[in-house]
Amino acid sequence: MILLQLLINGLVTGCALGVVAISFALVYSTTKIFHVAHAGVYTLAGYIAWLLVSHAVPEVVALAAAVLVCAGAGAVIQHQLYARLERRGAPHLVVLIASLGLLAVMQNIIAAVFSPNILQFPVLWANRTLALDGVALTYAQLLTVLICLAAYGGVMWFAHYTTLGKRIRAVASNPFLAQITRLQPNTVYVYVVAIASAIVALPGVLVPLDLGLQPYGGITPLLTATIAMIAGGVGSISGAFVLSIAIAELQNLSLLAIPGEWSIGITFFIFVIFMLFRPTGLFSAAR
Amino acid sequence: MDFLLSYLSLAAIYVMLGLSTNLLVGIVGIFSVSQAAVFGVGAYIVGHFLMAAEPMSFLAALAIGMLCCITLNILVTLPSLRVSGDYFVVTSFGIQLLATAVFTNWTAGTGGASGMPGIPPPDVFGYQLQSSWQLMALCMAGMALACLCFWLVMRAPFGRLLRAIREDERAVAAAGKSVLRAKVSAAALAGAFAGLAGGLYATFLSFIDPSSFDLDASILLLTMVVVGGARTLAGSIVGPFLLLALPQILTLLDIPTIFAATARQLIYGTLLIAFMLFRPQGLLGERL
């Protein structure tokens, strides 16, 4: 029974991680920026929702507000920071350092405004459990799985069947060609980071609903998600999502043998294995 | 007076770390946020050998610590040499988080979150260094050694090779130079600097805990290099001296102690963004 419980926990964490991974992959495959500050946006979402919920705003409204605020934050980050650096012809390393700086700024502003300690959502229904056959699942976890699967489906649909989605994929595959055919890559980049930030707000709110908020808690999920993205093959949305679930399941199953504080070691071990044997990832597109 | 001496000693230690970070980030162009982890490994190993049942002499322990750091830094660099530079970011973050997990959770070896207290002061060739003057002289000697090493390497053809790798890796390979060997050697040298700094730090403070070697510490090192100026010796010296004075200035402002760390990190982050946007070469460096 404990095995089934671990598998279910893995699925919950995996779905949430999967959404972080596809949102990061969206930014990375399009803008080629290793957007470390994405972890800051993820954290921001939870705190926005917490602020609103603790002022007696309905949960659904709080979630929507968090998504909107994060989308705005993403657009500002791309437009005010990355685009500026790009115009100055900044090399990759400079953009990376700026992104890391932004992450530090976001985390510490959050820690200064709210608190450096763990905050719990004042939502009672979230921790009520559904007990099925000895396996417990909280409402928050159920909601996480449902919304994250929906988000995955939504992103797949968006990327393949909408004009903007096709435009984004066109820019991702060849920015130069997109430029001369007036697809305006620079505008697309702003949209992409905004959309990715909106998507990452979903797990950003749902995961803390179950586990609580922590200002410095965004880095580990982001790192795990980037490992899933690389292992799944950069450019493959489904690969990133599937590998996120696989990694989360492995982490949870490893709890049977290894204490939980070493789970970062498990994740990293998976990464090293991939680097040694299949550095292009499992589902990488031919290029 | 003691305060000034301890500031100078700490700054000297951070100059070595700055050189280590500068070599990787500035010269070779490898983004690294795991130098604090390597630094920590050096500190814990030296601490461990000095406090063993049969304590070793300081220089022997330091040599072992440096060897371990060299090996570690090479291992950290190796898996990512096969693939593009962005993957190194993941390796780097991973190593840093993993190291923090080890420092915090491996209670038997590191003392866990409560740290490792009571590390004895260093001895050099049987002579015990006790006073803060002597400790400062030792740290300064370490710094001078590291600076000399860095300067000599940068003057040598090897230094030019490293710079060339940052500019264009393929051209270097096409010119018949081994990129792999050069990167591994640079990683080894950076590891040696970090190990030296770690050993001096452990004996200087006589107490170490995981908070000195976490991701925030790595970000501080990066900020030092960026503010001082990447790719030059002067930059790596100015950065640590300036940024270590910052916490003292903050104590003059009336910030509650629980927010002191937050305020520091906030300033480091802001400095990183501002310098990248407006002055990527730092105060005394060359363009990144």
Contacting residues of A for B98, CB less than 8 Å apart: 264-265, 268
| End-to-end Cα separation, chain A, in angstroms | 44
Considering CB atoms only, which of B80, B89, B265 is closest to A108?
B265
User: Whole-angstrom Cα distance, residue A279 to residue A241?
Assistant: 18
Interacting residues of B190 by C-beta distance below 8 A, sequence separation 6+ = B19, B20, B21, B23, B24, B35, B38, B73
Burial tier of A264 (Cβ tally within 10 Å: 0-12, 13-18, 19+):
buried
Using the structure block, give the residue that is written with the tokens 């992103």.
Answer: A155
Alpha carbon distance B62, A46 (integer Å):
45
For residue B80, the model assigns a pLDDT of 59
Q: pLDDT tens across B63-112, in order? A: 999 999 999 999 887 765 666 677 888 888 888 999 999 999 998 889 88
Which chain A residue has its CA at the smallest distance from B277's CA? A85
Q: State the nearest Cα–Cα gap between A263 and chain B, in angstroms.
A: 9
Do residues B119 and B206 lie in contact, with contact meaning Cβ atoms separated by under 8 Å?
yes
The rounded mean pLDDT for chain B is: 90
Report the percentage of chain B scoring pLDDT > 90.
Answer: 60
Q: Which of B83, B87, B276 sits opposite A94 (nearest CB)?
A: B276
Tokens of B19: 């050189």
Q: Which residues, including other chains, have CB under 8 Å from residue A286's CB and lie 6 or more apart?
A: none
List pLDDT tens digits, range B177-202: 888 889 899 999 999 999 999 999 99
Q: What integer is the mean pLDDT of B5-21? A: 94
Residue A286 has a pLDDT of 44
Best mutation target among A224, A262, A275, A278 (most B Cβ atoms within 10 Å) is A275
Which of A264, A277, A278 has the highest number of chain B CBs within 10 A, making it the mutation to test binding with B?
A264
Q: Which chain A residue's Cα is nearest to B266?
A: A105
Q: Which of A88, A90, A96 minimises the CB distance to B89? A: A96
Of the residues A84, A85, A97, the best mutation for testing chain B's interface (the one with the most B CB atoms within 10 Å of its CB) is A97
Rounded distance, CA B240 to CA B136, Å? 16
Is the separation of the CB atoms in A197 and A74 below 8 Å?
A: yes
Beta-carbon contacts of residue A200 (< 8 Å; ≥ 6 apart): A19, A20, A23, A24, A38, A41, A42, A45, A70
Nearest CA in chain B to A85: B277
Among A245, A278, A272, A250, smallest CA distance to A263 is for: A250
Among B35, B80, B83, B87, the strongest candidate for a mutation testing the A interface, having the largest count of A CBs within 10 A, is B87
String of DSSP letters for B22-38: IIIIIII----S-HHHH
- pLDDT at residue number B83: 61
Closest among A183, A187, A162 to A171, alpha carbons compared: A183
For A48, list phi and psi in degrees, rounded to 5: -60, -50
Confidence (pLDDT) at A284: 66
Instruction: DSSP for chain B, please give it.
Output: -HHHHHHHHHHHHHHHHHHHHIIIIIII----S-HHHHHHHHHHHHHHHHTSSSPPPHHHHHHHHHHHHHHHHHHHHHHHHTS-THHHHHHHHHHHHHHHHHHHH-HHHH-GGG-EE-PPPPEETTEEP-SHHHHHHHHHHHHHHHHHHHHHHHHSHHHHHHHHHHH-HHHHHHTT--HHHHHHHHHHHHHHHHHHHHHHHHHHHSEE-GGGGSHHHHHHHHHHHHHH-TTSHHHHHHHHHHHHHHHHHHHHTT--HHHHHHHHHHHHHHHHHHHHHH-TTTTT----
- Say what the pLDDT of residue A285 is: 54
B59 Cα to chain A: minimum distance (Å): 32
B209-228 per-position pLDDT tens digit: 999 999 999 999 999 999 99
Q: Cα A183 to chain center, whole Å?
A: 27
For residue A119, the number of C-alpha atoms closer than 13 Å in the C-beta half-sphere is: 23
Give backbone dihedrals phi and psi of A217, rounded to 5 degrees, phi first.
-85, 5
Whether B253 contacts chain A with CB within 8 A: no
Residue type, position B24, single letter: L
- Which SS3 state, helix, strand or coil, does residue A232 take? helix
Task: Name B124's bridge partners.
Answer: B127
Exposed/middle/buried for residue B107 (C-beta within 10 Å: 0-12, 13-18, 19+) = exposed
Distance CA B229, CA B175 (A): 29
Mean pLDDT, residues B18-40: 91
* Beta-strand runs (E) in A121-242: 129-132, 135-138
**Looking at beta carbons, which residues of chain B come within 8 Å of A287?**
none
User: Per-block average pLDDT, block size 10, for chain A (287 residues)?
Assistant: 90 96 94 94 96 93 96 97 92 92 96 91 84 83 95 95 93 90 92 97 94 91 93 88 95 89 85 80 63
Our measurement of the distance from residue A80's CA atom to the centroid of its chain's CA atoms, rounded to an integer in Å, reads 21
Side chain identity at A71, as an amino acid letter?
A: A
Q: Do A101 and B105 touch (CB under 8 A)?
A: no
Quote the DSSP letter at residue A1.
-
Name the minimum distance, in Å, from the CA of A198 to any CA of chain B: 23
Q: How far is the alpha carbon of B288 from chain A, nearest alpha carbon, in Å? A: 7
Chain A residues with CB-CB distance to B163 below 8 A: none
Q: Do B288 and A223 touch (CB under 8 A)?
A: no
Nearest C-alpha in A relative to B30: A93
Collect all residues of chain B within an 8 Å Cβ-Cβ radius of residue A262. 101, 105
B46 to chain A, closest Cα gap in Å: 24
Q: Are A115 and A47 in contact (CB under 8 A)?
A: no
The structure's pTM equals 0.93
Helical (H) or strand (E) element with A102: helix A92-113
Cβ separation B215–A219 shorter than 8 A: yes
Residue B123's contacts (CB-CB under 8 Å, 6 or more residues apart) are B57, B58, B129
The tokens describing B251, both together, are: 């104590």
> Is A281:A232 a contact under the CB 8 Å cutoff?
yes
Query: Are A265 and B101 within 8 A, CB to CB?
Result: yes
Residue with tokens 């330091």: B62
Nearest Cα to Cα of residue B38 among B77, B80, B68: B68
Contact state of B85 with A101 under an 8 Å Cβ cutoff: no
SS3 A109: helix
| Residue type present at position A88 | R
- Select the residue of B101, B215, B277 nearest A261 (Cβ to Cβ): B101
